[in-house]
Amino acid sequence: MKVLAIIQARMGSTRLPGKVLRLIQGKSMLEHQIDFLKKSESINQLIVATTKLAQDDKIEELVNELGIDCYRGSTDDVLERYYKCAKKFNGEIIVRITSDNPLVEPTLVDKIIELAIDTKCDFATNMIKQTYPLGYLVEVFPFQVLEKLYNEKVILDHGMEVGKELANVLSGGDTTIEKTLSEDDLYKLELDSFMKLIQTKKTQERIKHTLATGKPLVN
């Protein structure tokens, strides 16, 4: 069973343009994320999915240099981009990661992949009930579920989350959703130190501090 992880990345952020390629500790945020995900023991292939816009050529250049495949797809329909990417690379279990989560934890990714495979559920995540720090979002689902959503002509733009829409669609049918909750020590972490969206220079300083020291930056 092929586990395919897809990182959703683009340069066209409205709040902080080009954020995925901004340097922190000498590497772009996207490169940090790729390095973390390479440590996963369950992911068989890692892909970066971006748009066909010229501004995203830089993303393709970077991931090719890192030895990672890049898929170029729809600019506006995120679901179509995900579906066609998953189909092209023959993914059976899909792991969805967003590029604004540069501190993604590979052991947590493996835990949710294992949960999805063992339970044969339609959607496994740690985001339905927020107990992990922001920035640790992982979503795992079978390709068939992604295909079902695509065939129902659901259109997801950049302002919508693929995983949440999957959960919304699945919750109305005869389907199973599994969620992973954190241990008490993780729950007690300062959540603001791990921002889900890398939107501001202040957030970048927090990420830089965490990567340099291994500790959250306390305001």
**Tokens 């669609």 -> residue:** 169
> Which residues, in sequence order, are bridge partners of residue 24?
27
Which of 98, 100, 111, 117 is CA-nearest to residue 181? 111
**Is residue 110 situated within a structural domain?**
yes
| Strand extents, DSSP E, the chain | 3-8, 23-24, 27-28, 45-51, 69-73, 93-98, 123-125, 139-142, 177-179
**Is residue 183 situated within a structural domain?**
yes
106 pLDDT higher than 60: yes
**Is residue 156 situated within a structural domain?**
yes
Which of 165, 179, 166 is CA-nearest to residue 111? 179
pLDDT digits over 175-216, tens only? 555 655 444 444 444 344 344 444 556 666 767 777 777 665
The pLDDT assigned to 49 comes to 96
The pLDDT assigned to 23 comes to 86
pTM recorded for the entire structure: 0.78
Residue-number span of the structural domain to which 18 is assigned: 3-213
Mean pLDDT of 50-58: 95
* CATH code of the domain in which 177 resides: 3.90.550.10
**Is residue 218 situated within a structural domain?**
no
The pLDDT assigned to 154 comes to 61
**Is residue 31 situated within a structural domain?**
yes
**Is residue 219 situated within a structural domain?**
no
If one counts the domains in the chain, the total is 1
Mean pLDDT of the chain: 79
Q: Which residue has the higher pLDDT, 16 or 84?
A: 84
**Is residue 33 situated within a structural domain?**
yes
The pLDDT assigned to 22 comes to 86
What's the pLDDT band for 12 if we cut at 50, 70, 90?
confident
The pLDDT assigned to 99 comes to 85
